[in-house]
Structure 1
Amino acid sequence: MKLFLLVSFSALMLLEAYGFNDETDRQALLEFKSQVSQGKRVVLSSWNNSFPLCKWTGVTCGRKHKRVTGLDLGGLQLGGVISPSIGNLSFLISLNLSDNSFGGTIPQDIGNLFRVKYLDMTSNFLQGGIPTSLFNCSRLLELDLYINHLSEDFPSEIGSLTKLVVLDLSHNNLKGKLPVSLGNLTSLRALAFVTNNLEGGIPDDIARLTQMETLEFSENNFSGVFPPVIYNLSSLQYLSMFGNSLSGNLKPDFGNLLPNLQGIYMGKNYFTGGIPTTLANISNLQVLRMEYNSLTGSIPLSFGKVKNLQSLGLAVNSLGSGHFGDLQFLDALVNCTQLQDVDVGDNRLVGDLPTSIVNLSTNIIYLNLQNNLISGSIPRDIVNLIRLQTLWLAQNLLTGPLPNSLGKLSDLVALLLFSNRISGEIPSSIGNITRLESLVLSNNSFEGIVPPSLGKCSHLVYLRIGYNKLNGTIPMEIMQTQNLYHLSMGGNALSGSLPNDVGRLQNLVLLSLENNSLSGQLPDTLGKCLTIEVIYLQGNSFDGDIPDVRGLVGVKKVDFSENNLSGSIPGYFANFSSLEYLNLSVNNLEGKVPTEGNFQNATIVSVFGNKDLCGGIKELQLKPCLMQAPPVETKHSSRLNKVAIGVSIGIALLLLLFVALFSLRWFRKRKKNQQTNNPAPSTLEIFHEKISYGDLRNATDGFSSRNMVGSGSFGTVFKALLPTENKVVAVKVLNMQRRGAMKSFMAECESLKDIRHRNLVKLLTACASIDFQGNEFRALIYEFMPNGTLDMWLHLEEVEEIRRPSRTLTLLERLSIAIDLASVLDYLHFHCHEPIAHCDLKPSNVLLDEDLTAHVSDFGLARLLLKFDKESFLNHLSLAGVRGTIGYAAPEYGMGGQPSIHGDVYSFGGLILEMFTGKRPTNELFEGNLTLHSYTKSVLPEQVLDIADESILHMGLRVGFPIAECLTLVFEVGLRCSEESPTNRLQMSEVLKELISIKERFFRARRTARQ
């Protein structure tokens, strides 16, 4: 014993002699403190020579040798850098520097801590790579470096830390591939590297990690199929792979292979196929998140057996059979008493909303069924879901009234029911939901008044109830909800004035009250909404001056058009640096339009339809402002005024006489020429006296923008009511200031005068006159097509809310429209008195009537091929270079080729591809040599469903038709029509036969499916 004590004492003295004692630790920590930001050192004030080392803040010492074994500085908000002296704490077992603001790199000296077992540097600003010396710390059990800025490749030396149990490198910038050496960490139970830039696949060596319980690699760039190696990790409890590029089908026995899972996070990948029904065999499953994939089939009813299920997330997939009964899984989920959220929005679920929904778990706080094909009504007993915070049923086919019982859902924060067919009044009981933040009921059929009780929802941020049938006034009480961010009530029948208290909405960003019947003067208090960015007040009857809103320097969009505003345009609009759009059109404004600042840009500012405005930049096309001399008060002033008036009248009469004589001579000469060359009178001569400029002006309410339904290269189209015939028509008013407008007018008259076809828009009459200012006026009057253009139906997301169709086109409807177009082109090319080439076929020139029958319009570029004028055609083509035409015009036209029926076939082919892919030829996807044609051709037939418009798949599957086969046949027609060489293209007679054949097969398949 004496010998042992002697040896021990000698060893201790030797260690002290070499500096390995508590003084070493003291100096190391003081050096560490010196590298901490000076302003943060106060929390380490106990670190001085007056205090015993083992009582310093965060310091733990060993019982025998009094050396530092633990350093816990977590959450002290320290800054600066980590001193290399930390490596001198040679007895350190646990180091916690988490939740601070240390920057710089991890010092290489950290590798000297050969006793360390727990190392936590989470939530700092550490950069660079993981030091290779760290892998000398072979006793490490836990290594936590998540939420830093570590970069460089994932270190391959990680495999040397064979005792590691927890490794978390999440939320960094690590890159490269996972090293196979990870397979050496056979003691690992938790492995996480979420949110990095890692790529490639998961190495097979991970199969050796048989004790793994948590595997998280979400939000990286991993690709390939679901890693087969994971199926071997039967101990897994949590699997997170959200936000990668993984694909393929999941194994049907998924649940049997991984029976211990409690949480599955697989969203935002590219997984396909059905949901494995064996997932229901995982008895302890609590969370299943598979949203944002391409999963198909039904939602398994067996989920009702998962008693502990808390979260089911399957949104944004293609789930559903397309038949009634898709919602039966909700009946089964009634058995899941722990359920807290159900998210199955943005799928293809069809059927009535089951009443069983009210029997879901009383713990449920989030219910999302939006953007499906769910019908029926919201059950009154929805109030049973007493803890519900978010109810999202928007973009469905729901009908009936909104139950008054909703007001009892006191925890409700968001109620989103927009774009349904819900009717009745907005229940005043909603005002009892005082925690409500978002109320979105727009695009329904609500009627009655806006409930004043909504003012009691003091936390309301979004109130969007536009495009219903609401009437009455805007409640003053709503102006008391000072948290309001978006206030949208447009497209109703609201009357009265804009409340003066609007200025109390200090957080308002969007005010949308357009297309109502509001009147009175706009209050100056609107200028107190300093955070506002968008003001939509168009289409009302506001009068008086534009209010003083000079303080709204952050405003981006202002629309005061189609009101009765008067006075001058405030000059301060010129200086709004954020302004993107200012529309003051169709009012009674007067005076000079400013020319500085924003008013120098005609794409930002619109002021047409104010007859007393003058000046401005030339692009606004306003009359010049006359310089007026100051009045001279003399006894001769009255006489001079009378003389001036008399002279003006005389000059005006002489001008009118001259115009009349010139016009008479021109018409006589034209008539004589036409009698010589063509005894049949022209369409213009037949029609020009049948309707006057004044008649059209009255019929369109002064060519009001509220009646505008479209615009093109040479004119604007208005909806008009002809009172003499009580008939709604479309009036195309030519912009005679546009070069080529008169040629377009004559071409359209000439093309349509003798041709008749059910799929041609019918030209009723024309007007050749002068307007009230003596300017030349030309207009064409067509039958009105109530369903707008094909372009609107194909690209709903680009159409403003008020004009947007309520649904997408089905597969059958698109096929029928294609046949309509093929039929009329076949007629124009081969069955007219003379062949006609339309030359500008595109979706915006295809109009749809009440039955969605297609009618071709806009013959402004059309050519009778026997009277072809190449120079005229090319001039017209260059003038028609509007957005959308590029991509439809045949390639030979761009090289000076003559117009021909082959050019129409090319346009038709591109249009067909667009109709069934949902992509314009000018889509940003198509760059370089990639075109809509080559894009489609490259995937046929194997991947045809990948390029098809999602809404076609959605509707097409409902009829049990072999949709891939149908789409392949249609795309092949489109490709053969849009060949680059004109001689390789089909003729329209062949196209028509092929499309009719496809449609017949469609009906045969549907009959078979029904049987």
Structure 2
Amino acid sequence: MKFSKRSFYTFVCLQVFLFFSINLGCLQAGASGRETDELALLKFKQGITSDPHGIFNSWNDSLHFCHWTGITCGRSHQRVTSLVLEGQNLFGSVSPYIGNLSFLRLINLQNNSLRGEIPQQLGKLFRLQKFFVNNNSLNGTIPLNLTRCFQLNTIYLQRNNLAGKIPEELGSLPKLEKLGLCNNHLTGEIPPSLGNLSSLTTFSATFNDLEGSIPNEMGRLKSLNSFAVGVNRLSGIIPPSLFNITSLSSLVFAANQLSGSLPDNIFFTLPNLQAFLLQRVDMGGNKFVGQVPTNLGNLQSILRLKFEFNNLGSNSSNDLLFLTSLTNCSNLQIFSITRNNFAGVLPDSVANFSTGLIRLYMGGNEITGIIPAAMENLVNLIDLQLEENLFTGFIPSQFGKLQKLQSLILSYNQLSGQIPSSIGNLTQFSRVLLSGNKLEGSIPSSIRNCQHLYAVQIAENRLSGELPEEVLGLTSLSKVLNLAFNSFTGHLPTEVGKLKNVNTLDISENNLSGEIPETIGGCLSLEYLYMQGNFFQGTIPSSLASLKGLQYLDLSRNNLSGQIPKDLQEIPYLQYLNLSFNDLEGEVPERGVFTNASALSLIGNNKLCGGVPELGLPKCPTKLLKKVKSHTLKLVVAIACVVPTLLSILIFFLIRRMRKSRTKPSVAPLEMNHLLKVSYKDLYQGTDGFSCSNLIGSGGFSSVYKGFLPQVQTPVAVKVLNLEQTGAIKSFMAECNSLGSIRHRNLVKLVTCCSSLDYKTNAFKALIFEYMGNGSLEKWLHPCAEGEDQKRSLNLLQRLNIAIDVASALHYLHDLCGKPIIHCDLKPSNVLLDDDMVAHVSDFGLAKLFSINSNLSLSQISTTRINGTVGYVAPGN
């Protein structure tokens, strides 16, 4: 075909026109896309109501949006590809305009305080690969449109308030590798469609309300590394196909309602299996029955194996045959079969377990025979618990070679003989529980070497002789010393006063005699004192009144005489007092615990009189005479005192006014009076009704919630005291007294406190602190990998800085503040890290002020009370 010259030029011009039109259109489209991105980001900014770190200060017209904090753009097209605002304490919601950032590949908004629902508009982000919104307060359901993002390989939604079911459509994401759903309120069943995710390596759905059975289709996930569904309501059997996945390293089924027996070929149905990588199996807290397979020894990489709290075993002699196979598990560190139906003799082969074994739990079964002395080979054992079985024979003296042993629990067996003196070699000992056996003799004096002991319970045995001074001299005892129901004789040594830290002292039901020493008033931390069922005589020592934290006191069934010390009525927390069946006489006090007849027992003391009418005691003979005399004296006293009294009052006010005119107004000694005023309503609304989703943690005395107060711009931690727990009020007062007047950059800041009534008119007490975004040091040192991709780690410099921060706080408390303060419970879980990884010492619930007299020597200085986790060692699991 031939073209004329004119046609040729026309054709060329047309091509040029089309070229410029197309490219101009692309330029215009590119410009329009960038404007869309900028508008979407500004809309996202509008949805954030609080930005404590000023992240959005750079989000303005002075900078191109590609240079805004947290934003990354592609080099060629200048479109937003990454939005990373992790751990910035942001409040607000996720704007639906985020769906207009069509080039987004990464969204990381984890560890903030975002609320509201996850917008459905995320389904427009067809390039999205990673989506992190874990550790927020998001609610609603998992957006169904999220399943349209076919490039997704990671979805982390854990630790939010999400409800509803797991969408079946998630099974259509071909590239999905990690799915984190734990710590939400998800319901329904695990969708069988998840078995289509051939690339899935991590599935974590612990701490939800899932029900139904585990789909058999999950066994098709040949790349699965971690499968965690603990703490749900799952039932039925575990699909055998799940045990065919050779890539698994962690299986967590604990605390469900799973049932059935464990198949004999568990984990080993693949004929070509050579190296199994499974490291953690936790099947505790279910309803499994039957025998444990005898071929578990092939799990050579296993670290933790837990079958506790099930119905395994059949109370037969063959129940423990599987233990021998575990000698092949050379990496085993933790093994537990506590609370099952295992019987039979504990085989000697248990002594050939991995030398790396640190925790061995077999309590609550019906295991018989003797405890193998060869267990001395388990040289790294820290915790050995064999309680509530049928063991006989002696406690092996070879246990003295377990130099790292900290906890030995052999209670309620049928052990006999003496406590071996080799126990004194266990210098790391913190807890020894031997109650409920047939042990004889006395406690070996070598126990004085165990200077880290905080709990000793050897009750209900056949021990005799005098109470050893070595035990009473263990100043480390902070929890309990229980020697009840034995046959100890002689006097209670005066050394009992050295137990300044012990919480519970029980020497009841023995044959002790003599007087109760006044030194018992030195046990300043005592809350429970049981001395009943002995032959103590003499008077009740008045020094008992110095035990201000005492709650239960039982001196019944002794030979005590004399009057009841009136100072006992001044013990503020005393809830129960039993003085029955003694030979007490005189007037019964009428204040404190003596006002509550149901909390007081005085029967068997026929010489007592007076007291509150509910006691039904006769009136004291001298009381009527005193009443007659008092009427006569009242007139004389009134006349003799009224004039001097008026003059004294007048002189007092004149002197006070003169002094006031010469001095400046004083500042309140404590800053507690100037703290922010908050009500129960403020705290209730700021924590969503103390919702579980805002629960940070809980302990013996309290629960801590993340909250938001209208008077405070930043999040706060609300510590709600459990007033039904013994000692909670003292914990509240201790923290108020300790933190009310001190300030230091490495101490957690007390924002305010609240003492009020809740909506049910119950007493309510709470402390409000600054919120620490990075949680406790405990979680950094020992992260819990419940199927999650844990990335927390501390480098050497961070560890050094944290150590310096903690040391600075202690230096201030001990040497620089007005009155020295002893923390009493310093451990990693009580060290909190802020957003800049600065350490703050917290939890002063056990703190005590130092009482110092300049005329005393250092050895005579003492605290008003010391308690806490004595001998604490961070857990290995």
If the length of structure 1 is used for normalisation, what is the TM-score?
Answer: 0.54
Residues 232 and 322 of structure 1, relative CA distance in 2, 3 Å threshold: same
Alignment of 1:428-827 (within 5 A): 428-471=421-464, 472-476=466-470, 478-482=472-476, 484-543=478-537, 544-574=539-569, 576=571, 578-627=573-622
Cross-structure match for 2:51: 36
Matches of 2:376 and 2:75 in 1, distance apart? Answer: 62
2:472/2:499 contact within 8 Å kept = no
Matches of 1:49 and 1:133 in 2, distance apart? Answer: 26
Cross-structure match for 2:258: 271
Cross-structure match for 2:243: 255
1:503/1:529 contact within 8 Å kept = yes
Residues 22 and 351 of structure 1, relative CA distance in 2, 3 Å threshold: closer
Matches of 2:533 and 2:399 in 1, distance apart? Answer: 33
Partner amino acid, structure 2, of 1:103: F
- Asked if residue 181 in structure 1 is aligned to residue 169 in structure 2, the reply is yes
Matches of 1:470 and 1:350 in 2, distance apart? Answer: 29
The CA deviation string for residues 726-777 of structure 1, in whole angstroms up to 9 with x for no partner, is xxxxxxxxxxxxxxxxxxxxxxxxxxxxxxxxxxxxxxxxxxxxxxxxxxxx
Alignment of 1:107-118 (within 5 A): 107-118=95-106
Cross-structure match for 1:832: none
Matches of 2:21 and 2:497 in 1, distance apart? Answer: 88
Q: How far is the alpha carbon of 1:367 from its aligned partner?
A: 0.8
Of residues 300, 308, 311 in structure 1, which corresponds to 2:301? 308
Q: How far is the alpha carbon of 1:177 from its aligned partner?
A: 1.7
Q: Secondary structure at the match of 1:494?
A: strand
- Asked if residue 97 in structure 1 is aligned to residue 90 in structure 2, the reply is no
2:44/2:98 contact within 8 Å kept = no
User: Which range is displaced more, 5-14 or 358-367?
Assistant: 5-14
Partner amino acid, structure 1, of 2:260: G
Partner amino acid, structure 2, of 1:198: L
Matches of 1:14 and 1:115 in 2, distance apart? Answer: 14
2:222/2:246 contact within 8 Å kept = yes
1:532/1:552 contact within 8 Å kept = yes
Cross-structure match for 2:146: 158
Residues 435 and 191 of structure 1, relative CA distance in 2, 3 Å threshold: same
Of residues 325, 332, 338 in structure 2, which corresponds to 1:339? 332
Residues 406 and 60 of structure 1, relative CA distance in 2, 3 Å threshold: farther
Matches of 1:381 and 1:195 in 2, distance apart? Answer: 43
Cross-structure match for 2:211: 223
Residues 302 and 514 of structure 1, relative CA distance in 2, 3 Å threshold: same
Matches of 1:28 and 1:154 in 2, distance apart? Answer: 22
Q: How far is the alpha carbon of 1:493 from its aligned partner?
A: 2.0
The CA deviation string for residues 881-928 of structure 1, in whole angstroms up to 9 with x for no partner, is xxxxxxxxxxxxxxxxxxxxxxxxxxxxxxxxxxxxxxxxxxxxxxxx
1:130/1:155 contact within 8 Å kept = yes
Alignment of 1:62-141 (within 5 A): 91-98=80-87, 100-141=88-129
Kindly tell me the number of residue pairs found equivalent between the two proteins.
602
**Structure with the bigger percentage of helix:** 1
Q: Secondary structure at the match of 2:80?
A: coil
2:427/2:452 contact within 8 Å kept = yes
Cross-structure match for 2:369: 376
Matches of 2:417 and 2:549 in 1, distance apart? Answer: 38
Matches of 2:434 and 2:597 in 1, distance apart? Answer: 36
1:250/1:276 contact within 8 Å kept = no
Cross-structure match for 2:190: 202
Partner amino acid, structure 1, of 2:622: M
Partner amino acid, structure 2, of 1:128: G
Cross-structure match for 1:742: none
User: Which range is displaced more, 416-425 or 51-60?
Assistant: 51-60
Cross-structure match for 1:167: 155
Q: Secondary structure at the match of 2:511?
A: coil
Matches of 2:247 and 2:532 in 1, distance apart? Answer: 60
Matches of 2:522 and 2:61 in 1, distance apart? Answer: 61
Cross-structure match for 1:349: 342
Partner amino acid, structure 2, of 1:441: L
Partner amino acid, structure 1, of 2:398: S
Q: Secondary structure at the match of 2:235?
A: strand
- Asked if residue 286 in structure 1 is aligned to residue 279 in structure 2, the reply is yes
Matches of 2:144 and 2:21 in 1, distance apart? Answer: 47
Partner amino acid, structure 2, of 1:549: L
Q: Secondary structure at the match of 1:508?
A: coil
The CA deviation string for residues 836-868 of structure 1, in whole angstroms up to 9 with x for no partner, is xxxxxxxxxxxxxxxxxxxxxxxxxxxxxxxxx
Residues 622 and 388 of structure 1, relative CA distance in 2, 3 Å threshold: same
Matches of 2:33 and 2:194 in 1, distance apart? Answer: 45
Q: How far is the alpha carbon of 1:135 from its aligned partner?
A: 3.4
Partner amino acid, structure 2, of 1:277: D
Q: Secondary structure at the match of 2:146?
A: helix
Residues 531 and 12 of structure 1, relative CA distance in 2, 3 Å threshold: farther
Matches of 1:48 and 1:524 in 2, distance apart? Answer: 74
> Could you tell me the percent identity over the aligned residues?
35
1:457/1:481 contact within 8 Å kept = no
Q: Secondary structure at the match of 2:609?
A: strand
Residues 47 and 560 of structure 1, relative CA distance in 2, 3 Å threshold: farther
Residues 57 and 142 of structure 1, relative CA distance in 2, 3 Å threshold: closer
The CA deviation string for residues 790-838 of structure 1, in whole angstroms up to 9 with x for no partner, is xxxxxxxxxxxxxxxxxxxxxxxxxxxxxxxxxxxxxxxxxxxxxxxxx
Partner amino acid, structure 1, of 2:92: G
If the length of structure 2 is used for normalisation, what is the TM-score?
Answer: 0.62
Partner amino acid, structure 2, of 1:419: Y
Matches of 1:163 and 1:47 in 2, distance apart? Answer: 29
Matches of 1:511 and 1:53 in 2, distance apart? Answer: 68
Alignment of 1:4-83 (within 5 A): 35-37=50-52, 40=53
- Asked if residue 413 in structure 1 is aligned to residue 381 in structure 2, the reply is no
Matches of 1:117 and 1:505 in 2, distance apart? Answer: 63
Residues 478 and 147 of structure 1, relative CA distance in 2, 3 Å threshold: farther
Cross-structure match for 1:689: none
Q: How far is the alpha carbon of 1:302 from its aligned partner?
A: 1.1
Partner amino acid, structure 1, of 2:305: L
Cross-structure match for 2:393: 400
Residues 149 and 546 of structure 1, relative CA distance in 2, 3 Å threshold: farther
Matches of 1:49 and 1:248 in 2, distance apart? Answer: 60
Cross-structure match for 1:190: 178
User: Which range is displaced more, 139-148 or 604-613?
Assistant: 139-148
1:248/1:273 contact within 8 Å kept = yes
Residues 522 and 44 of structure 1, relative CA distance in 2, 3 Å threshold: farther
1:167/1:191 contact within 8 Å kept = yes
Compute the RMSD of aligned alpha carbons. 3.7
Partner amino acid, structure 1, of 2:481: L
1:404/1:427 contact within 8 Å kept = yes
Q: Secondary structure at the match of 1:383?
A: helix
The CA deviation string for residues 923-962 of structure 1, in whole angstroms up to 9 with x for no partner, is xxxxxxxxxxxxxxxxxxxxxxxxxxxxxxxxxxxxxxxx
Structure 2 unmatched ranges of 5 or more: 1-15, 627-877
Higher relative contact order (CA 8 A, sep 6+): 2
The CA deviation string for residues 603-645 of structure 1, in whole angstroms up to 9 with x for no partner, is 21111112221122344333332236879xxxxxxxxxxxxxx
Matches of 1:363 and 1:351 in 2, distance apart? Answer: 26
Q: How far is the alpha carbon of 1:169 from its aligned partner?
A: 1.6
Matches of 1:498 and 1:62 in 2, distance apart? Answer: 80
The CA deviation string for residues 584-615 of structure 1, in whole angstroms up to 9 with x for no partner, is 11222221122344323222111111222112
Matches of 2:349 and 2:157 in 1, distance apart? Answer: 45
Matches of 2:69 and 2:475 in 1, distance apart? Answer: 49
Matches of 1:50 and 1:505 in 2, distance apart? Answer: 68
The CA deviation string for residues 157-176 of structure 1, in whole angstroms up to 9 with x for no partner, is 33222221121222222222
